[in-house]
Structure 1
Amino acid sequence: MSEENRHHATAAAILPLVGGAANVASVAHCMTRLRLGLHDRSLVREERLRALPAVMGIVEDDTYQIVLGPGTVARVTPEFEALVEAETAGTAPVPAAAPDPGPDPVTADSLAARGAVLRAERKARNATPFKLLLRRIANIFVPLIPALIGCGIIAGLNGLLVNLHWLPGITSALAAIASGFMALIAVFVGHNTAKEFGGTPILGGAVASIVVYAGVADVEAFGRHLSPGQGGVLGALGAAWLGVSVEKWCRRRVPEAVDVLVTPTVTVLVAGLATLFGLMFLAGEVSTWIGDAADWLLAHGGAGAGFLLGGLFLPLVMLGLHQALIPIHTTLIEGAGFTVLLPILAMAGAGQAGAAIAVYLRLPRNPSIRTTVKSALWPGFLGVGEPLIYGVSLPLGRPFVTACTGGAFGGAFVGLYNQLGTDVGSTAIGPSGWALFPLLDGNRGLGQTVAVYAAGLLVGYVAGFLATYWFGFTKEMLTELNAAPGTPGEEDPTAPAERVAERA
Structure 2
Amino acid sequence: MATDSADKNSATAAAILPLVGGAGNISSVAHCMTRLRLGLRDRSLVQDEALKALPAVMGVVDDDTYQIVLGPGTVARVTPEFEALVAAAAASAPGTAARTAPGSSPAAAEELAAHGAAIKAARKAKNSTPFKLFLRRIANIFVPLIPALIGCGIIAGLGGLLTNLGMLPTVVPALTATASGFMSLIAVFVGYNTAKEFGGTPILGGAVAAIIVFPGVANIEAFGQKLSPGQGGVLGALAAAVLAVYVEKWCRGGTSQAKRWGRVPQSLDVLVTPTLTVLVSGLVTIFGLMFVAGAVSTAIGDFADWLLANGGAGAGFVLGGLFLPLVMLGLHQALIPIHTTLIEQQGFTVLLPILAMAGAGQVGAAAAVYLRLPHNASIRSTIKSALPAGFLGVGEPLIYGVSLPLGRPFVTACVGGAFGGGFVGLFNMLGDKVGSTAIGPSGWALFPLLNGNRGLGETIAVYAGGLLVGYGVGFLATYWFGFTKPMLEELNVAATAKDPTPPTKEPTPVSP
What TM-score do you get using the length of structure 2 for normalisation?
0.93
Secondary structure of the corresponding residue to residue 252 of structure 2: helix
Secondary structure of the corresponding residue to residue 438 of structure 2: coil
Partner deviation per Cα, 1:82-123 (whole Å, 9 max, x = no partner): 11121113499x99x999669976654344233222112112
The change in CA–CA distance for 1:70 and 1:109 in structure 2 (over 3 A counts) is farther
Structure 1 residue 482 and structure 2 residue 483: aligned?
no
In structure 2, which of residues 407, 417, 428 is the aligned counterpart of residue 418 of structure 1?
A: 428
The change in CA–CA distance for 1:482 and 1:281 in structure 2 (over 3 A counts) is same
Percent of aligned pairs with the same amino acid: 74
Aligned residue identity for 1:75: R
The change in CA–CA distance for 1:267 and 1:385 in structure 2 (over 3 A counts) is same
Q: Using the TM superposition, give the Cα deviation of residue 489 of structure 1 relative to its aligned residue in structure 2, in angstroms.
A: 7.7
Map 1:316-331; keep pairs closer than 5 Å: 316-331=326-341
Q: Is the 8 A contact 2:32 2:144 kept in 1?
A: yes
Aligned residue identity for 1:146: P
Map 1:55-134; keep pairs closer than 5 Å: 55-90=57-92, 107-127=107-127, 128-134=129-135
Partner deviation per Cα, 1:197-216 (whole Å, 9 max, x = no partner): 11111111111111101111
Aligned residue identity for 1:294: A
Q: Is the 8 A contact 1:10 1:54 kept in 2?
A: yes
Q: Is the 8 A contact 2:405 2:509 kept in 1?
A: no
Q: Using the TM superposition, give the Cα deviation of residue 445 of structure 1 relative to its aligned residue in structure 2, in angstroms.
A: 1.8
Once the two structures are overlaid, the 10-residue window that deviates more, 249-258 or 192-201, is 249-258
Q: Is the 8 A contact 1:120 1:319 kept in 2?
A: no
Map 1:247-286; keep pairs closer than 5 Å: 247-252=248-253, 253-286=263-296
The change in CA–CA distance for 1:275 and 1:490 in structure 2 (over 3 A counts) is same
Name the counterpart of 2:54: 52
The change in CA–CA distance for 1:100 and 1:151 in structure 2 (over 3 A counts) is closer
Map 1:159-198; keep pairs closer than 5 Å: 159-198=160-199
Aligned residue identity for 1:484: A
Q: Using the TM superposition, give the Cα deviation of residue 353 of structure 1 relative to its aligned residue in structure 2, in angstroms.
A: 0.8
Secondary structure of the corresponding residue to residue 507 of structure 2: helix
The change in CA–CA distance for 1:266 and 1:497 in structure 2 (over 3 A counts) is farther
The change in CA–CA distance for 1:98 and 1:258 in structure 2 (over 3 A counts) is closer
Q: Is the 8 A contact 2:19 2:47 kept in 1?
A: yes
Secondary structure of the corresponding residue to residue 361 of structure 1: helix
In structure 1, which of residues 318, 338, 355 is the aligned counterpart of residue 348 of structure 2?
A: 338
In structure 2, which of residues 453, 460, 470 is the aligned counterpart of residue 460 of structure 1?
A: 470
Once the two structures are overlaid, the 10-residue window that deviates more, 391-400 or 275-284, is 391-400
Instruction: Give, in whole Å, the separation in 2 of the partners of 1:448 and 1:395.
Output: 38
Instruction: Give, in whole Å, the separation in 1 of the partners of 2:181 and 2:75.
Output: 26
Q: Which runs of 5+ in 2 are unaligned?
A: 254-262
Aligned residue identity for 2:240: A
Name the counterpart of 1:359: 369
Instruction: Give, in whole Å, the separation in 2 of the partners of 1:102 and 1:291.
Output: 51
Secondary structure of the corresponding residue to residue 30 of structure 2: strand
Aligned residue identity for 1:179: S
The change in CA–CA distance for 1:364 and 1:239 in structure 2 (over 3 A counts) is same
Partner deviation per Cα, 1:278-297 (whole Å, 9 max, x = no partner): 01111100000000110111
Q: Is the 8 A contact 1:51 1:110 kept in 2?
A: no
Q: Is the 8 A contact 2:9 2:78 kept in 1?
A: yes
Name the counterpart of 2:258: none
Map 1:388-407; keep pairs closer than 5 Å: 388-407=398-417
The change in CA–CA distance for 1:478 and 1:222 in structure 2 (over 3 A counts) is same
Instruction: Give, in whole Å, the separation in 2 of the partners of 1:488 and 1:77.
Output: 40
Secondary structure of the corresponding residue to residue 70 of structure 1: coil
Aligned residue identity for 1:465: F
Aligned residue identity for 1:118: A
Instruction: Give, in whole Å, the separation in 1 of the partners of 2:102 and 2:375.
Output: 27
The change in CA–CA distance for 1:62 and 1:204 in structure 2 (over 3 A counts) is same
Instruction: Give, in whole Å, the separation in 2 of the partners of 1:238 and 1:366.
Output: 53
Secondary structure of the corresponding residue to residue 230 of structure 2: coil
Name the counterpart of 1:34: 36
Q: Using the TM superposition, give the Cα deviation of residue 346 of structure 1 relative to its aligned residue in structure 2, in angstroms.
A: 0.7
Map 1:372-451; keep pairs closer than 5 Å: 372-451=382-461
Q: How many residues in Structure 1 have an aligned counterpart in Structure 2? A: 499
Instruction: Give, in whole Å, the separation in 1 of the partners of 2:98 and 2:272.
Output: 57
Q: Is the 8 A contact 1:351 1:464 kept in 2?
A: yes
Q: Is the 8 A contact 1:141 1:326 kept in 2?
A: yes
Aligned residue identity for 2:153: G
Partner deviation per Cα, 1:245-304 (whole Å, 9 max, x = no partner): 111111112222111111111111111111101011111000000001101111111111
Q: Is the 8 A contact 2:13 2:82 kept in 1?
A: yes
Q: Using the TM superposition, give the Cα deviation of residue 419 of structure 1 relative to its aligned residue in structure 2, in angstroms.
A: 1.3
Q: Using the TM superposition, give the Cα deviation of residue 503 of structure 1 relative to its aligned residue in structure 2, in angstroms.
A: 8.9
Query: Aligned-residue CA RMSD in angstroms?
Result: 2.3
Map 1:161-240; keep pairs closer than 5 Å: 161-240=162-241
Secondary structure of the corresponding residue to residue 25 of structure 1: strand
In structure 1, which of residues 7, 14, 17 is the aligned counterpart of residue 19 of structure 2?
A: 17
Q: Is the 8 A contact 2:50 2:100 kept in 1?
A: no
Name the counterpart of 2:260: none
Secondary structure of the corresponding residue to residue 55 of structure 1: coil
Q: Which runs of 5+ in 1 are unaligned?
A: none
Instruction: Give, in whole Å, the separation in 2 of the partners of 1:435 and 1:99.
Output: 34
Partner deviation per Cα, 1:154-174 (whole Å, 9 max, x = no partner): 101101111111111100100
Name the counterpart of 2:45: 43
The change in CA–CA distance for 1:479 and 1:267 in structure 2 (over 3 A counts) is same
The change in CA–CA distance for 1:99 and 1:192 in structure 2 (over 3 A counts) is closer
Partner deviation per Cα, 1:313-370 (whole Å, 9 max, x = no partner): 1122234442331210111111111111011001111101111110110111111111
